[in-house]
Structure 1
Amino acid sequence: MMPLRRVALIGNSLPRRCGIATFTTDLERAISNSRPDLETSIIAMNDHAQAYDYPGSVAFQIKDDVIGDYVRAAAFLNAGRYDVVCLQHEFGIFGGEAGAHILELLSRLSMPVITTLHTVLAKPTTAQRAVMERIVEASSKIIVMANKGREMLRSVYRVPDDKVEVIAHGIPDFPFVEPDAAKAKLGFSNRSVILTFGLLSPSKGIEVMIDAMPSILERRADAVYVVLGATHPNLVRDQGEAYRESLMKRVRELGGENHVVFLDQFVDQATLLEFISMCDVYVTPYLNEAQMTSGTLAYSFGLGKPVVSTPYWHALELLDDGRGVIVPFGNSAATGKEIARLLTDTPRRQAMRERAYAVSRSMTWVRTAERYIAVFEDARQGDWLKVIARTGPVAIAHSPAASDMQLDHFLSMCDDTGLFQHAVHSVPDRAHGYCVDDNARALLLACALNNPGEKRLPEVLTARFAAFVQHAWNPDTRRFRNFMGFNRTWLEDRGSEDSHGRTLWALGECARKDASPSRRRWAEALFAKALPTVEAFASPRALAFTLLGLDGYCAVVPDDARALEIRHFLADRLMSSLASVETPDWTWFEEGLAYDNARLPQALMLTGMATQTPDYLDAGMRSLRWLMKQQTASTGHFRPIGTAGFGELRQPPRPFDQQPVEATATIAACLTAWRADGDAEWKAIATSVFAWFLGRNDLSIVLVDAETGSCRDGLHPDRANENRGGESVVSYLLGLADIRQLARVNVSETPPVAFRAVGA
């Protein structure tokens, strides 16, 4: 495996004012500084249409409420061939209900995701739980900053311990110094300084400290409480400075104007460290127990400051065993008493300082970066070797060709708009709406079920998928839109090149196979309008999908000279890609493997047969044989290209995550090869690839429910993905339709169960 080269972090970034922005920026710098050859970038979240003057480390920006930005960010990361993505998650910084928009980004990434959870909710709402479960599922590893986070992930969200890493909040590596010099520089000489810093908001409990000051002053008349930090931007936007003014009024009512100082500043790190250096006691009087992480606490503790804190989760853990002082929530009397004790007991205060500083040396950003990089490397390597070691051949109890075509789950995933994208387990997930990708696949399934021996889909359903495709066409851009919200609002003005090509594929098949003559004519006309756009496309899969559509379109409109010209143009483009990349040990169109791989050889084979171009056919057969070697496990069963390896250059494919779409593409390509050269081995391979759905896979897990026709979304290294979305169910049903047709063609043969790589 190549060494770690490129890392991207998703989160808020300075100069945006918030704790997540500070953390993300500090972590990116620490990781970047850890290795001279390691490139790091930040994908920055922008809030409420705000714009920020970001440094060069920010490579891409996402407006939190613009779902298209999330999709474009995923494309940017995939195209940039980042090795890992590290998501900084906090409810409230992403758009959509419970921040669900981030799922649109994660679901499209081709590299491992490591997620740092800055909050773990003990009592999430239904929406929050659903989003959290999807994020955990999409992540190779989860990082929390306290052991309490691991416990809650286990008890509330049922996340296995081995998926969770505890890495403490990073801190600057600052020397252990006495406060006098910093006090003199900042104008607080001869004062006993109590400090709180951070963005000002009602949850910080500043009122408690203000009310505690009279009792502190009784014992330390020189005490001063410094509140350093700007008001939280969200609070300013909604209320102006009303909250800060109410605190200042409270100080005046208590006669404490000379002993409470508000510094309305968002300071840089160097200035912040000077302020922490000058304080004698640091206080975090927060009001909410459910605070998993506090950067202000970590920084102050790391500079060797005695800390007095309420018992929120992070403080309880960090200050345990006498490393700090815990006081009850909202208790001004206890807070004042403990701070006064520390200010009047120099030996105790000094001992607490020294202990905190010594304990915190493992928390410096250098050490934190080392631990993050170790997690990144582990996520890339994965635990899949352990899985392979304990997995053996699986006997299949029944012939896949005998399976019935059950459509209950597929029908449940459709409404009066079309096919939903996602499901939570087997329940359709309305939150993520629809896409033309999946509705085009559904139209392909409707065409496949027009074959002899199959039961057609209800006419109204086929018409609905066609209507979705028609509505997706944007005549202004000459492109198909892709993503639509549940409210039937398009989320973009054009989709990806691949989604455009896939839609043309569905239209071409509809023109050839639809049961309705009127709809066949509609498909021909829309195909002709949308075809020329593809000439400017760069994606090999978009070219291949379009060629698959041209196979159907040209069969029914053979005199369309322009279509024939484009057909050869696209096939020649694929041939050029193959020629420019192919070596004796790498017979492929790209430097790496991704999704729907077998569609590229299939497109060339079909085009070669239809146009009687032997070079196309030979290239398709040659690349498919090579691909099958890559997709064959040492035990002989089919192992589809795993998503964890997407973007890796000329590397053996990763085994996970395995997805149904890859198996379906391979079945279709193998049957195309069989029709091309008549070798019965291709039929055997196609049958054994289908057996992947039925349990002949790395985990020996059956992925389909024979009673409902649902299909799990794939295989993780340790389990099946229990969600059963639109792409997965259509992929399974398309594969099943191909196998059922194969059985009807040659019912006298019993397809062999064994699988061996072509050319092995």
Structure 2
Amino acid sequence: MSPSGEKVVLVGNHPPRQCGIATFTRDLREALSEARPQRELPVVALTDPGQNYDYPDEVRFEIHQDEARDYEDAGRFISLTGAGVISVQHEFGIFGGHAGEELLRLLSATETPVVSTLHTVLAEPDDHQRRVFRKLIERSARLVVMSRKGREILRDVWGVEDWKIAEIPHGIPDLPFVDPSFHHERFGLIGRKVILTFGLISPGKGIEDGIRAMAEVVKTHPEVCYVIVGATHPALIRECGEEYREELEALVQELGLEGNVRFENRYVDFDELQEWIGAADIYLTPYLNSAQITSGTLAYCYGSGKAVVSTPYWHAEELLGSGNGRLVGFRDPEGIAKAIRELLDDPASCLMMRKRAFLEGREMIWSRVAERYHALFDEVASEGSPVAASVVRPSSASPRSEEPALEWNFDHVLRMTDSTGMFQHARYALPWFDHGYCTDDNARALILCTQLEDEESFVSELDRVRTAAAAFLDAAFDRERKRFRNFMSFDRRWMEESGSEDSHGRAVWSLGVTSAKTRSKALRGWAIDVFDAAFPTLVDFTSPRSWAFGLLGISDYLDTYPGDLKARRIAAELGAKLLDLYDRTADEDWRWFEDSVTYDNPRLPQAMMLAGEITDNARMKQVGLESLRWLMEHQQGSGGCFRAVGSPGYWERGGEPASYDQQPLEATAAVAACLVARRIENGRYWDKEAARAYEWFLGRNDLRTPLYDRETGGCHDGLQPSRLNRNQGAESTLAFWMAHADMRRLRGIKEPAAETRSLKPFHHAYA
């Protein structure tokens, strides 16, 4: 896990959402990353109702604004990332509920300390705002304001002590001080004097007063062009379309200003915005009321050395009150016109004003703002959490009726485990030291123990196994290479620098299950930390089974943390890889992903179905179902019993499947895959197929001989032509108990099939 404080999660809007807070969140994150590259800075983004954004990779988790559960999921996700601090961008309207109260749901689901950057500080809140903001103040370790007025209101109205308030200005890009005419040719404005207003357009911006002022300005300065850059605010579009902009355009025509007012009706990117700021001779911000604690557009232009004419809202008063700009009254077009004419008529005074603003603005550039935020985050992280909130634990309880008659017996699992981990192989029922340990089996052990935590009578005896397995996987992971080693000798020496792709996939699978299912906050924190570092490597692999194993873990993980966009993207990519294999290989007679059917085969269709569920891709689900049905139809022995494709030998296209050595993990995978298919496709077919595969362990097989040993609690390593493999290794024993857990889950489900992912198999994926 990252050192305390070295990960900061930013919560707020983010592009491509179009709003000032989205831009601020992006710019702050970029500045923080540039100032301290080693600090991890994932973003939790708020998506407004009815929208669907293609977020960049830095956005790790998405909250749909009106979905209450998303906030709880996000809080748990943040806790398990090991973040030292949450940086909240607060504006009442971007969070769901009355006055954005759903933010409190997120913050109650994590103990991580909070730094809240306040984009609005209300002096006269309504009752809902008062209640929510009071709780935010209590939950926050520090409150960041961008002006002295913000500090004053927090202190005088809300009673916040000075030590809890940090005053950090709105960041600005570090633009050069240039003559505006340098940019005029770029926009076809040679010979013009440019008055600029930019930002999302809405009635509160007072642009109609700016237009009316131009009618007076052009009488003495006909070269003036008032440029209004920005799209109409999306919320206003949803409410009443372009009504406000059309009113502005009608006003321009009424005043005969078609040649002096120019609308750039679009959301411009950052590079173009910098050029528009550079092209401005005067920046005009004619807002209509005083209660604006900060304005990013004003900060940008002032710090870039622009002459500013503004109404006296709070932020403008603070920046311009010392004479570094001109303040005019609210709703005063004549005053605006007078201030603009005076600046145009006195170029020398205008230039001095610009230089003073530019020099003062050096304290506002993003690199310096980022340094102050980093120092604040370090301070808060070192103090630890001020709250004792409990992390909300998702329910993983499962029905307990109609279980298989067998009693749980973990004697052999315990026998096969020491303080290093679970041994690979056994001689009969004794651990076989010569073969040491492997990542594959410890991953399976971790999955089983985690999935059985809700079985209260088993937690204590399996805790030692779980701890050893987790510690083994932690040691196996090479953080520099982002790969797991697989084989370790009995004297604790790694036998390779990197293990197989499949072992890496199984390890990711176990971490996905653990990060989603375990009760232990410490273990979940560890699991999500290693999972987060390890699962992206899967996309570079070529083994279809590594993709499949990884998808099983990502699927469990996303059941609990559905807003993790990076996990969703990688799941979609892995699913697409499997689908492409199938489409290039399968035909009417061979409905498979490769030209051979080898080992752990049902995992491929199982992963295909899960990828289809994650991405809501009907084609993937269809391919998963048809390939699994095809495989199960061909895995039948005498009397219709389950007969796994044998190992070695397998089944080459055009040939006959090997009948032996039949491996337990094939039956386990078949049970789990059938349970996923059961969820997708109604009917009792998949129940029967799951039972057929499970009963293979109990004696319904080609030899009519049980592989499960009731005396030892172990499972034999395979079914050979005339006898059992008498050894009871870790893979086989874990495979049996995993299948048993799945069947126990299946027999507790009353309905013939389910429509929701809450009825996934007990572990829905074991190897």
Alignment TM class, shorter chain as reference:
0.5 to 0.7
Distance 2:36 2:143 in 1: 23
Residue type at the aligned position of 1:54? Y
- Structure 1 partner of 2:284: 283
- Relative to structure 1, is the Cα distance of residues 536 and 195 closer, same or farther in structure 2, using a 3 angstrom cutoff? farther
Q: Percent identity?
A: 44
> Hey, which bits of structure 1, 4+ residues long, moved more than 6 A?
524-528, 535-544
Superposition map of 1:417-428 within 5 A = none
Q: 2:402 and 2:379 mapped to 1: Cα distance?
A: 48
- CA distance in 1 between counterparts of 2:290 and 2:224 reads 28
Could you tell me which amino acid in structure 2 is paired with residue 382 of structure 1? E
Shift in Å, 1:138: 1.1
Structure 1 residues 527 and 257: CA distance shift in structure 2, 3 A:
farther
Return the offset for 1:221: 1.7
CA distance, structure 2, for counterparts of residue 346 and residue 138 of structure 1: 51
Report the CA distance between 1:569 and its aligned residue. Answer: 3.2
Deviation of the 1:10 alpha carbon = 0.5
- SS of the equivalent of 1:116 reads strand
Distance 2:290 2:55 in 1: 34
Question: What is the identity, as a one-letter code, of the residue corresponding to 1:194?
Answer: I
Corresponding residue of 1:145: 146
Gaps of at least 5 residues in structure 1 are 386-421, 423-436, 438-481, 483-494, 505-523, 547-565, 584-642, 650-760
1:91-110 pair list within 5 angstroms = 91-110=92-111
The answer to whether residue 376 in structure 2 is matched with residue 375 in structure 1 is yes
Instruction: Give 1:567 shift.
Output: 4.3
The structure-2 alpha-carbon separation of the partners of 1:40 and 1:208, relative to structure 1 and needing over 3 Å to count, comes to same
Instruction: Give 1:81 shift.
Output: 1.2
In 1, Cα distance between equivalents of 2:131 and 2:373: 26
Q: 1:27 to 1:142 in 2, by over 3 A?
A: same
Is the 1:219–1:344 Cα contact (8 Å) retained in structure 2?
A: no
**Superimposed CA distance per residue, residues 270-294 of structure 1 (whole angstroms, 9 cap, x where no aligned partner):** 1001001111100100002111110
Aligned to 2:222: 221
Determine the structure 1 residue equivalent to 2:630.
Answer: none
Please give the alpha-carbon distance, in whole angstroms, between the structure 1 residues aligned to 2:88 and 2:402.
Answer: 41
3-state secondary structure, aligned to 1:299: helix
Cα gap change, 1:118/1:536 in structure 2, threshold over 3 Å: closer, same or farther?
farther
In structure 1, what is the equivalent of residue 67 of structure 2?
66
The Cα shift of 1:32 comes to 1.1
1:55 CA displacement: 1.0
* CA deviation after TM superposition for structure 1 residue 164, in Å: 0.6
Q: 1:39 to 1:289 in 2, by over 3 A?
A: same
Q: Return closer, same or farther for 1:92/1:542 CA change in 2, 3 Å cut-off.
A: farther
Within the candidate set 444, 459, 478, 1:570 is matched to: 459
Shift of 1:582: 8.5
Where do 1:499-510 residues align within 5 Å? 499=395
What CA distance in whole angstroms lies between the structure 2 residues aligned with 1:138 and 1:278?
44
Shift of 1:33: 1.1
Structure index of larger Rg:
2
Q: Which residue of 2 aligns with 1:40?
A: 41
Q: Are 1:65 and 1:95, in contact at CA under 8 Å, matched by a contact in 2?
A: yes
How far apart in 2 are the matches of 1:208 and 1:526?
A: 75
**Matching residue's letter, 1:574:** D
Alpha-carbon shift at residue 526 of structure 1 (Å)? 13
Q: Deviations over 1:607-646 (max 9, x none)?
A: xxxxxxxxxxxxxxxxxxxxxxxxxxxxxxxxxxxx99x9
Distance apart, 1:573 and its partner CA: 2.9
Q: What CA distance in whole angstroms lies between the structure 1 residues aligned with 2:226 and 2:111?
A: 50
The corresponding residue for 1:563 is none
- How far the C-alpha of 1:334 sits from its partner, in A, is 0.7
SS of equivalent residue, structure 1 residue 282: strand
Give me the whole-angstrom Cα distance separating, in 2, the residues matched to 1:229 and 1:304.
21
Does the alignment pair 1:191 with 2:192?
yes
- Whichever residue aligns with residue 378 of structure 2, its letter is E
Question: What is the deviation of 1:130?
Answer: 0.8
Task: Tell me if the contact between 2:4 and 2:84 (Cα under 8 Å) persists in the aligned partners.
Answer: no
Give the CA deviation at 1:84: 1.2
Q: Taking structure 1 as reference, are residues 276 and 361 closer, same or farther at Cα in structure 2, changes over 3 Å only?
A: same
Query: Which secondary structure does the structure 2 equivalent of 1:149 belong to?
Result: helix
Deviations 1:479-529 (A, max 9, x none): xxx9xxxxxxxxxxxx844x556x99xxxxxxxxxxxxxxxxxxx98999x
Query: After the TM superposition, which residues 324-723 of structure 1 pair with which residues of structure 2 at under 5 Å, given as runs?
Result: 324-382=325-383, 496-497=393-394, 499=395, 546=454, 566-579=455-468
CA 1:362 to 1:526, structure 2 compared with 1: closer, same or farther past 3 Å? farther
SS in 2 for 1:92: helix
Aligned-residue offset at 1:343:
1.1
Task: Output the TM-score relative to the length of structure 1.
Answer: 0.54
Q: Does 1:29 align with 2:38?
A: no
- Using the size of structure 2 for normalisation, the TM-score is 0.54
Contact 2:195 2:226 in 1 (8 A): yes
Distance 1:370 1:62, change over 3 A: same
CA contact under 8 A between 1:220 and 1:344: conserved in structure 2? no
CA contact (8 A) 2:112 2:385 kept: no
AA matched with 1:220: H
Q: For the Cα contact (< 8 Å) 1:111–1:647, is it kept in 2? A: no
| Secondary structure at the counterpart of residue 354 of structure 2 | helix
User: Offset at 1:41?
Assistant: 1.3
Structure 1 residue 61: deviation in Å? 0.6
Q: 2:274 matched to which residue of 1? A: 273
**1:725-755 C-alpha deviation (Å, 9 max, x unpaired):** xxxxxxxxxxxxxxxxxxxxxxxxxxxxxxx
Residue type of the partner of 2:271?
A
* DSSP 3-state at the match of 1:348: helix
**Structure 1 residues 209-252: Cα deviation after superposition (integer angstroms, max 9, x where no partner):** 11111221122121111000000111111111111011010111
Q: SS where residue 60 of structure 1 aligns?
A: strand
Q: Relative to structure 1, is the Cα distance of residues 539 and 271 closer, same or farther in structure 2, using a 3 angstrom cutoff?
A: farther
Shift of the 536–131 alpha-carbon distance from structure 1 to 2, 3 Å rule, reads farther
Instruction: Please list, as runs of the form range in 1=range in 2, the aligned pairs for 1:151-230 lying within 5 A after superposition.
Output: 151-230=152-231
**What letter is aligned with 2:458?**
F
SS of residue paired to 1:157 = coil
Structure 1 position 15 matched with structure 2 position 16: yes
Secondary structure of 2:200 counterpart: coil
| RMSD of aligned alpha carbons | 3.3
1:590 is aligned to none
Q: Residues of 2 paired with 1:324 and 1:538: CA distance?
A: 65
Q: How does 1:46-85 map to 2 (within 5 A)?
A: 46-85=47-86
Instruction: Kindly tell me the number of residue pairs found equivalent between the two proteins.
Output: 439
Question: Any idea what SS the aligned residue of 1:330 has?
Answer: coil
Letter in 2 for 1:216: V
SS at match of 1:39: coil
